[in-house]
Structure 1
Amino acid sequence: MEGSTLLVLGPNAWLLLAVLLGLAAVVWRTALGRSPVQMLVAGVRALIQLAAVALVIAWLSDKGPLAFAFVALMFLVGVWTSGRRVAPDGRWWLAAVPLAAGVVPVALMMFAFGVLPFSALAIIAVLGQQIGGAMTSVTLAGRRIRDELALRQGEVEAAVALGFPWQAARAMVGRPVAGEAVLPSIDQTRTAGLVTLPGAFVGMILGGAAPLDAGLIQLLVLVSLLLVNAGAAATTLWLSCAGAWTRPRTRPRDIPAGKTPR
């Protein structure tokens, strides 16, 4: 195979990027009724950020301890991104809880088993994927639960009137939809090698790694993401049902059964 990349790069690649981003913005505006600026800004930011990150990672390649500082920055950006999606007017910083609940235990297990080496490139690549997966799960689960609780508030109040605690009443509504945030990860894992070839797997094959080794590494990444995303979604459910994202004027536990919160 000629070249070191799967796609042919050059001036046409940059032209195609502009066309794809422009068309995405048009569909986003005309079919979905959203501001095209969001789509355009996302594409430009991705370009700038990827260029900067590539330079930083190259500089960190032989500086293992500093990789954790970069991962911490990634974590903070993930908290800001997910938190502002779930609770734009509330305690958005609490997104750090489900993100950490998903990522930290899995990362510690990978270090403990000796699977993840103390190499800057490995740490950034693996933990970066896990933070990204957890961020997506927190966003999807948090917004889905929030909307469902607002839509079915009457059912929650009815359960409280029957004697259920507020958190348990909310969980009856939120739990069935919280797991939907993990479905994309499950589908990606189920169809790996059949519908999609994950980027890490393809990159290792092109880099000369043995196919079985590449497959095992990609499987570790995919399965670790299942636990990361499930843990993040479960913690998001707990926070949502506890009413932690907002600061209510009257705490649910102070409201007698049969009464509705103000």
Structure 2
Amino acid sequence: MQASIDISWPQLGLFASLLLIPLFINAHFKLGINKSTIISLLRMLVQLFLLGLYLEYIFALDSIALNITWVILMIAMGSYSVISKSDLSSRKLLMANALALSCALLPLLLVMSLLVIQPSPRYNAQYMIPLAGMLLGNSLSGNIVALQTLFDAFKQRQDEYEAAIALGASPYQASFPFLQQAMKKAQAPILASMATTGIVTLPGMMTGQILGGVTPMVAIKYQLLILIAIFVMLSVSLSITLLLSLRYSLANNGLIKIKLNS
């Protein structure tokens, strides 16, 4: 296997000029998003550059306290992103989502580090930080979809909910169909991705490892590990997020009291 090939900054800059193509397309169709696109691209550039410098520092230092602090920061920022992108306004929902992501992520990281990969040391930042990032990154979109679907159902199917309450159902029983719908919709993309992996798509982690010089079979093992972990984390985090959100959101009379952002 050939070792990883470095890419020079001038080469990367030249390739980045291809971004003029989507900008031209946006302008041609008058989408009005070129300003936000450019801002997003610049933020991505600065954030990734700073992240690269910081990761080199924490990889070299490899402090368990620093690694745990970084993971906690990732969870906090991820939870804030979920709630803000879900168009919800509630500190309780923010806490519920942070708890859900923590309960799903931390045990998985422990199992993967202590029993499966077994790096030395076990809290090795080279493994802990990227694994946490991949698990969180793939769970955030699912949590956003789930919360949006749940609270949209309460707005659009309020009559159905109130009818179930009038017939004697508890608030949880009346909202259970909404919860089911939210979980199914949030898990649909990962199920479709797993069903086509290896035939239609080559996952990013596997591709990155192969480009880095790892043998295909080793890359496949890691990809299977991360896909299983992503699906488990998504399922656990969705369950806890939705259940806690319902608990915090239902008032004494079974009425939703979460403020929806306009």
- TM-score, normalisation: structure 1: 0.82
Q: 1:28 to 1:143 in 2, by over 3 A?
A: farther
8 Å CA contact 1:86–1:143 kept in 2: the answer is yes
Question: CA RMSD of the aligned region, Å?
Answer: 2.9
1:70 matches 2:70: yes
Cα separation, partners in 2 of 1:53 and 1:74, compared to 1, 3 Å: same
Partner of 1:9: 11
How far did residue 23 of structure 1 move? 5.0
Q: Which residue of 2 aligns with 1:101?
A: 103
**For 1:110-125, what aligned pairs fall within 5 Å after superposition?**
110-115=112-117, 117=119, 118-125=123-130
> How many angstroms apart in 2 are the aligned matches of 1:231 and 1:214?
26
Q: 3-state SS of the aligned residue for 2:60? A: coil
Structure 1 unaligned spans of 5+: none
Q: Could you tell me how far 1:87 is from its partner in structure 2?
A: 5.2
Greater RCO, CA 8 A, separation 6+: 2
Aligned partner of 1:142 in structure 2 is 147
CA contact (8 A) 2:3 2:212 kept: no
Does the alignment pair 1:52 with 2:50?
Answer: yes
1:210 Cα deviation after fit: 2.0
- Is 1:213 aligned with 2:214? no
Identity of aligned residues (%): 24
Q: Deviations over 1:62-114 (max 9, x none)?
A: 22222222222211110111122235322242221222232123222223314
Deviation at 1:6, TM superposition (A): 9.2
Counterpart in 2 of 1:43? 41
Over 3 Å counting, the alpha-carbon distance change for 1:233 and 1:205 in structure 2 is same
Gaps of at least 5 residues in structure 2 are: 258-262
TM-score where L is the length of structure 2: 0.82
Deviations 1:228-253 (A, max 9, x none): 111122222213332x2x5x7xx23x
2:209 maps to which residue? 204
Shift of 1:36: 5.2
